[in-house]
A and B are shown apart, each in its own frame.
Chain A
Amino acid sequence: MNNNREADESELIRRSRMGDKDAFGQLVCIYMKRAYFSALGLVSSHEAALDLSQEAFVRAYRAIGKLDPERKFYTWLYQILRNLCFNYIRDRARHARPFSELDEQKMQQIADASQDASSRVETDELHQQLRRAINLLSPLEREVIVLKDLQELSYKEIAEVLGCPVGTVMSRLYNARKALRNSMKEYMNDRN
């Protein structure tokens, strides 16, 4: 199943390299949500995430001739995307917005129907606190949290995407979670 998917992807890349826009369109459709949510995790704004993820695809199409056929498309795309996101973060540092788009609307959509109102309020508060804590992380730490906990990639996949050893991924993740734990320590102790 996985092999079929990889074969399909290789075929789409091959056709895209020959200028087949329909094939590239299929790659876009496969990875658009993942790219959007990766960007959203880093830049915290719906409009910026949409704009940056679309720009990443445009640049990817322009440079697809340079894509190593052995490499996974998303791993390669993600490097273009993160570069755009970090540039955006750097440019907008003074006007940084909080981790606001990871917000209440979806929280309510997915909230367990059986959960009573008071525990839902507590969960909401916990998530708000966490959002604030994530917002205080450095972009590199925030990125590793997004890739591990929101995108659910393995250490090996994260290392591949970031182009660094697995040990670096683990230490970066440790520092990020330690910072989150310290920011939320008091709050979580109250809840436990």
Chain B
Amino acid sequence: MTETNFSNSSLDTRKRFESLVMGAVDGELTREEGAEFERLIREHPEFRVEFKQFIRIKEVTKSMPMKLPPEEVWDTYWYRVYNRMERRAGWILLSIGAIVLITYGLYQFVMNLLADRHLETFIKIAIIAVLAGAVIVIISVLREKAFVRRTDPYKEIKR
């Protein structure tokens, strides 16, 4: 029983150390927490060793250099963003226009087809079946994409 209590107490101390050590490494502890942490590492030399290792890790990480891209990358950065924005607007207009025209064209095509008295009925049915099939496939693909988007594991990440 005493041994169990001792283990629990060690575990709690360990957990407390873990909850404070990052704040101590990054200098983000309050005064009270700082004093508590000081006491912990004074009473537990193994925690002090660990604390020093974390400080060392932070020092090495902070001193790790980042490769600087050439200066012209920054000179042309906004220009490239601007071009993308402009191009995106162009694509949206192009797509909307194309969808409207294609839909209208198909509608006219089907109407003319139905009005054509010289064309065999089974040909008319076959052409309409091809068009209906294409529409179903497109809708199915779009619905699948929407489903994938809904079940995306990264969806919790706010856009």
Please list the residues of chain A having a beta carbon within 8 angstroms of any beta carbon in chain B.
21, 25, 28-29, 32-33, 36-37, 40, 46, 50, 54-55, 57-59, 61-63, 79-80, 82-83, 86-87, 90, 101-103, 105-107, 109-110, 123, 126-127, 130-131, 134, 145, 148-150, 152, 154-155, 163, 167, 170-171, 173-174, 177, 180-181, 184-185, 188, 192
Contact = CB atoms under 8 A, between A and B. Distances in A.
Interface in B53-91: 53-54, 56-58, 60-69, 73-74, 77-78, 80-82, 84-85, 88
20 contacts: A32-B78, A46-B67, A46-B69, A54-B84, A58-B85, A61-B85, A63-B159, A79-B157, A79-B158, A80-B159, A82-B157, A106-B66, A131-B64, A148-B26, A149-B58, A150-B66, A155-B28, A174-B22, A177-B25, A180-B61
Contacts of B62: 149-150, 152
B6 interface: no
Given A55-B84, A61-B85, A154-B28, A181 B57 contact: yes
B159 A79 contact: yes
B19 interface: yes
Interface in B4-25: 18-19, 21-23, 25
